[in-house]
Structure 1
Amino acid sequence: MIEAADLREWRSHDVIDPDGRKIGTLEAVYVDTSSDEPAMATVQVGLPTRHRLVFVPLDDVIVGPGYVRVNYSRSLVKDCPAIGTDDVLPASGEEAIFKHYGLTYQPGAGGERQLARR
């Protein structure tokens, strides 16, 4: 199992898809608030003058020297709902990200967020 602390060390590493195509650069790690396990990462994508952050699930992630390989295609990741590089993911935006990847969204019993940035 990959620990959140380990993933934080990989900030600025390339994020690649299963075919080895670069998606972008790892920006941050988000954990599932119910388990405190790494769940998603933000990836910086876009042109140098128009960067944005997209989310990608970290299930079955593989790490190597200088890269993090995710289990999702480059096109699927780049089409994910995005936030600006200085923005924070609003609680109301979490469900759309999970839905984009066909994952179940389960906020806390009191409506708490499912993701927390670490």
Structure 2
Amino acid sequence: MIEAADIREWRTHDVLDSGGRKVGVLESVYVDTATDEPAMATVEVGLPTRHRLVFVPLDGAIVGPGYVRVNYAKSLVKGCPAMGVDNVLPAADEAAIFQHYGLAYQPGAAGERQLARR
């Protein structure tokens, strides 16, 4: 298991897909609000003048020297719903990210968000 404190040290490092291809650069880590465990990361992708952030699950991620390797293909990650680099993820958009990866989305009992940025 990757600890939240550990993975924060890897901001600005390369994110590699399951085949070892560079997807982008790690921008931030989001934890599951129910467990406080790292759940997703935002990855900065795109052209130098048109950057955007996409989410990728951290389940099974491997941290190496200067990179984080995720268990998803580059094409799947880049196709994830995106947001601008200066934006905040709207609560209403969380479910679409989980659906994109075929993961169950479980907001809190009172409708609380499942993801929190760390």
TM-score (norm 2): 0.99
Structure 1 residues without counterparts, runs of 5 or longer: none
Identity over the aligned pairs, expressed in percent? 79
Residues 35-54 of structure 1 aligned to structure 2 (within 5 Å) = 35-54=35-54
Helix, strand or coil at the partner of 2:75: helix
Equivalent position of 1:68 in the other structure:
68
Structure 1 residue 18 displacement after superposition: 1.2
AA of the residue aligned to 1:82? A
AA of the residue aligned to 2:28? A
Equivalent position of 1:19 in the other structure:
19
Helix, strand or coil at the partner of 1:93: helix
Helix, strand or coil at the partner of 1:25: strand
Equivalent position of 2:97 in the other structure:
97
Structure 2 residues without counterparts, runs of 5 or longer: none
Q: What's the C-alpha RMSD, in Å, of the aligned pairs?
A: 0.3
TM-score (norm 1): 0.99
CA offsets per residue over residues 17-67 of structure 1, 9 Å max, x none? 111100000000000000000000000000000000000000000010000
Structure 1 residue 100 displacement after superposition: 0.1
> What is the number of residues matched between the two proteins?
118
AA of the residue aligned to 2:98? F
Runs (4 or more) in structure 1 with deviation over 2 Å come to: none
Structure 1 residue 84 displacement after superposition: 0.3
